[in-house]
């Protein structure tokens, strides 16, 4: 029985194939007005509305599938763009940082060649630590007693005075900045202006004050201030004379009407120190411990 069913199915399959070949041959050989073409057009006419309706019915489903596909594709592209944008930002930051460091180093080289620090042996050092407060009171540099650095050595950049060494180890040193509340620098206005003491402004780490300037002394906005480098033979300033400090930004009458309130902006960018020079050695200064 099973074999008869198999033979019957094979015979039907062969018959269908033969009929299909005959119909295809006939369709290709007959004219457009032939009966097979007429039947094909009739079937197409009947099924066309059904096909159109099915297409419209399935359009929301197709649109939904396309929406998901486009959304996932857009998210993937957005992630790629965000990663590329982050990479470009890192590259720009790296180049800007390198440019800033190169500019500081060029200024330090110019300072070496200027002769303004004659008698001192400058040691270039990199800032490796900063005070954890908004006052920018101190930094740590990677040069210490092993490089000849001693306590009270002046510290400068290519722009001007930064501070002095307050503590030293073999491989590093702590630098107290001129913005520290304990700092006091004797200074004078150039070319032949009065002398005073530069101290930080209480409550404002970005401003310095020139104290002890009497009311009747003329102070011009924009005037340059340098270290006085005074000495009376027994005690001396730890800073040599004529190191640039800053420029006067404002001078007003004080409350007591005895001294003026004189504000200045330091030349050195205290907030963004990367490299400094420690002025080691130098001539003996009476009263200054080394």
pLDDT above 80 for 269: yes
The three-class DSSP label of residue 227 is: strand
What tens digit of pLDDT does each residue of 122-174 get? Answer: 999 999 998 877 567 899 999 999 999 999 999 999 899 999 999 999 999 99
pLDDT above 60 for 32: no
Lowest-pLDDT range of 85-89, 114-118, 255-259, 280-284: 114-118
pLDDT score, position 115? 47
Q: Which of 96, 98, 116, 126 is nearest to 160 (CA)?
A: 116
Top mean pLDDT of 55-64, 132-141, 243-252 is at: 243-252
Query: How buried is residue 187: exposed, middle or buried, by Cβ count under 10 Å (0-12/13-18/19+)?
Result: buried
pLDDT score, position 265? 93
Q: Which residue has the higher pLDDT, 251 or 168?
A: 168
pLDDT score, position 157? 92
120-281 CATH fold: Thrombin, subunit H (2.40.10)
pLDDT score, position 165? 96
pLDDT score, position 170? 95
pLDDT above 70 for 88: no
Distance CA 10, CA 95 (A): 79
pLDDT score, position 97? 46
First to last CA, the chain: 119
Q: Which residue has the higher pLDDT, 20 or 278?
A: 278
Is residue 281 within a helix (H) or strand (E), and if so which, with residue range?
A: strand 275-281
CB-CB neighbours of 71 under 10 Å: 10
Top mean pLDDT of 43-47, 91-95, 163-167 is at: 163-167
pLDDT above 60 for 113: no
pLDDT above 60 for 2: no
pLDDT score, position 239? 93
pLDDT above 50 for 254: yes
Predicted TM-score of the model (pTM): 0.62
Contacts of 34 (CB under 8 A, 6+ apart): 26, 27
Phi and psi at residue 147, to the nearest 5°? -105, 15
pLDDT above 90 for 175: yes
pLDDT score, position 231? 82
Nearest 5°: CA angle at 155, between 152 and 159?
155
Q: Contact 226/242 with Cβ under 8 angstroms?
A: yes
- DSSP type of residue 268: S
CB-CB neighbours of 268 under 10 Å: 25
Q: Omega before 36 cis (within 30°)?
A: no
Share of the chain above pLDDT 70, in %: 62
Distance CA 148, CA 162 (A): 19
């Amino acid at each position: 029985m099973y074999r008869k069913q198999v033979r019957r199915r094979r015979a039907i399959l062969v018959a269908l194939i033969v009929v299909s070949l005959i119909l295809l041959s006939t369709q290709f050989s007959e004219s457009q007005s032939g009966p097979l073409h007429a039947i094909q057009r009739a079937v197409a006419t009947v099924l066309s509305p059904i096909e159109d309706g099915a297409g419209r019915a399935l359009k929301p489903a197709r649109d939904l599938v396309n929406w998901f596909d486009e959304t996932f594709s857009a998210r993937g592209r957005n992630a790629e763009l965000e990663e590329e944008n982050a990479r470009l930002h890192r590259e720009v930051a790296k180049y800007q940082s390198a440019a800033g460091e190169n500019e500081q180093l060029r200024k330090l080289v110019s300072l070496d060649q200027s002769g303004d620090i004659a008698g001192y042996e400058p040691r270039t050092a990199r800032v490796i630590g900063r005070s954890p407060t908004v006052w920018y009171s101190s930094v740590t540099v990677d040069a210490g007693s092993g490089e000849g650095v001693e306590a009270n050595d002046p510290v400068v950049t290519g722009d001007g005075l930064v501070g002095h060494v307050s503590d030293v180890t073999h491989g590093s040193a702590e630098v107290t900045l001129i913005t520290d509340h304990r700092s006091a620098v004797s200074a004078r206005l150039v070319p032949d202006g009065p002398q005073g003491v530069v101290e930080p402004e209480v409550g404002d780490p970005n401003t310095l004050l020139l104290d002890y300037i009497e009311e009747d002394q003329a102070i011009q906005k924009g005037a340059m201030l340098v270290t006085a480098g005074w000495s009376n033979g027994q005690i001396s300033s730890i800073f040599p004379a004529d190191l640039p400090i800053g420029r006067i930004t404002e001078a007003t009458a004080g409350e007591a009407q005895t001294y003026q309130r004189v504000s200045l902006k330091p030349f050195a960018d205290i907030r963004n120190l990367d490299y400094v020079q420690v002025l080691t050695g130098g001539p003996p200064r009476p009263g200054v411990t080394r």
